[in-house]
Amino acid sequence: MLRGDKVIRGAAVAIAVADLVLALLVFSLFERGGDAARFQFVDQFSWIPDIGLKASYLLAVDGLSAPLVALTGLLGLSAVLASWHVGVRVKEYFFWLLILQTAVMGVFSALDLLLFFLFWELELVPMYMLISIWGTGRKEYSAMKFLIFTILGSAFMLVAIVAVFLTPEVGTFNLIELSTTGGVLASAATLLPLSWLFWLFFVAFAVKLPTWPLHTWLPDAHTDAPTAASVMLAGVLLKMGGYGLLRVNVGLFPDQSWEFAWVLVTLGVISVLYGAVVTMRQTDLKRLIAYSSVSHMGLVLLGIGSVGVAGGTLTTTGLSGAAMQLFTHGTITGLLFLAVGIVYEKAHTSGFVSELLVFLGAYRAYDWPTVLAVLGIVLAAGYILWMMERTFFGAPRERFGDLTDASLVEAAPLALMVICIIGVGVYPQLLTDMFDTALGPMVQAINGG
């Protein structure tokens, strides 16, 4: 290992550790409770005023985004440690990896729609570069497919953002002013019907989540991406889609979220079952995890669809389950891809809490679709056990007789993920209390409060 490469790796680890420490400080210092401000750690100043845009550099976190910022810091450090043995264009590799983490952090903390969109687009470049240069197999094809799908989805979002801004009664990109508590969009004569705006945003977020039938880019990207890129892709990039649905679709369009909840539930159930069945057919570990992600992200749609509850008052249970699924799935898939990366490097060849909350919330609104979705969890147990049996058990093969255990650098990110997964599983209230502070105002708006 060249001395210069060692310095670069050390600098990347130092930056990732600093990011994680700051993210955990934000998470731990976030004030919970009824008297606490909804948005905290606010950083704002006027941005590009010379061209007449009422846009601002507005960053803050609430109970929804603070856990996802912490998750990004955790997976960012894990991705850097998982890249310890990268030997090609080392400086450029870690540059793109850290830029990717910066962009995702920006998405989760931006509260200005224009700034949100810029961070959303910034993520495309580093992920494309990581897959196309350091990937394997059909890496150029997979990178371009990821790019095309995401750009097309972003085009829908851009149209919606411009339409919102050009509405005479609105004229702002500020998500706090546009949020459900202000009801700005509901009372304004928007340039496009609110239902159109809802679906324009939805398409962009559904591509990233991804939900069926907009998911086909994900298995290719996962299969051909380097380990660190797969960790970030499954762990936090997919969560950008779910976060957008909660922050924008539910937050800005409560009436439309209630009206079209049945569509979200339908797509969610299809994604859960389709992803689980297709996963059973996979022989490549990365494709297996990719299709399982399609299935488990369907549960996010199911939880969000719980806003369509009829004949009663909506609670935060289903939405909290959807938000919790974003976090727990991020840690679990991050752990899985780290493990797969170690297996490939050497051989070359507890989300229960969140799921329970989703099912409890969704069952009140849609009983039999929820029962169908539960079948996907049964299939998940089957394909995970089958994967373990085919990979780690059975008669040992002679050509793998000289394999060694994971090194300290390889084991460290695995340990971080395991500690986080067990911690949330044992004490889920650590997250649910935070989610309730952010989702409560959205639920109140949907209930007509």
Q: For residues 449 and 336, which has the higher predicted lDDT (pLDDT)?
A: 336
Which are the contacts of 435, defined by CB distance < 8 A and separation ≥ 6? 63, 64, 67, 316, 319, 320, 323, 324
Residue 122 burial (C-beta neighbours within 10 Å; 0-12, 13-18, 19+):
middle
Instruction: Answer yes or no: is 398 within a domain.
Output: no
- Quickly state the pLDDT bin for 234 (edges 50, 70, 90): confident
Instruction: Answer yes or no: is 399 within a domain.
Output: no
| pTM for the model | 0.85
Structure tokens belonging to residue 340: 């797969």
Q: What is the pLDDT of residue 293?
A: 83
86-116 per-position pLDDT tens digit: 888 889 999 999 999 999 999 999 999 999 9
Query: What is the C-alpha separation between 330 and 232, in angstroms, rounded?
Result: 9
Query: What is the C-alpha separation between 134 and 232, in angstroms, rounded?
Result: 14
Residue 182 burial (C-beta neighbours within 10 Å; 0-12, 13-18, 19+):
middle
Instruction: Answer yes or no: is 138 within a domain.
Output: yes
Q: Which of 186, 211, 365, 415 shows the shortest CA–CA distance to 294?
A: 211
How many CB atoms lie under 10 A from the CB of residue 54?
Answer: 17
Q: What is the pLDDT of residue 121?
A: 93
Q: DSSP assignment of 287-351, as one string? A: HHHHHHHHHHHHHHHHHHGGGG--SS---SHHHHHHHHHHHHHHHHHHHHHHHHHHHHHHH---T
Query: What is the C-alpha separation between 208 and 12, in angstroms, rounded?
Result: 27
Residue 233 is classified by DSSP as: I
Query: What is the C-alpha separation between 284 and 210, in angstroms, rounded?
Result: 20
Q: What is the pLDDT of residue 311?
A: 47
- Report yes or no: 355 and 377 within 8 Å, Cβ to Cβ: yes
Q: For residues 411 and 424, which has the higher predicted lDDT (pLDDT)?
A: 424
Instruction: Answer yes or no: is 369 within a domain.
Output: yes
- For 226-255, what is the mean pLDDT? 88
Count of the separate structural domains present in the chain? 1
Q: State in Å, rounded, how far the first CA of the chain is from the last one.
A: 62
Can you tell me whether residue 85 is helix, strand or coil? Answer: coil
- Is the per-residue pLDDT at 347 higher than 50? no
Instruction: Answer yes or no: is 101 within a domain.
Output: yes
- Report yes or no: 166 and 213 within 8 Å, Cβ to Cβ: no
Placement of tokens 């989610």 in the chain: 435
Instruction: Answer yes or no: is 397 within a domain.
Output: no
Structure tokens belonging to residue 176: 């706090």
- Report yes or no: 435 and 429 within 8 Å, Cβ to Cβ: no
- Is the per-residue pLDDT at 306 higher than 60? yes
Instruction: Show the domain range for 368.
Output: 3-392+405-446
Instruction: Answer yes or no: is 435 within a domain.
Output: yes
185-212 per-position pLDDT tens digit: 666 666 778 889 999 999 999 999 888 8
- For 220-247, what is the mean pLDDT? 88
Query: Hey, which residues does 174 pair with through a beta bridge?
Result: 112
- For 366-370, what is the mean pLDDT? 58
398-422 per-position pLDDT tens digit: 655 565 666 676 777 778 878 888 8
- Report yes or no: 104 and 240 within 8 Å, Cβ to Cβ: yes
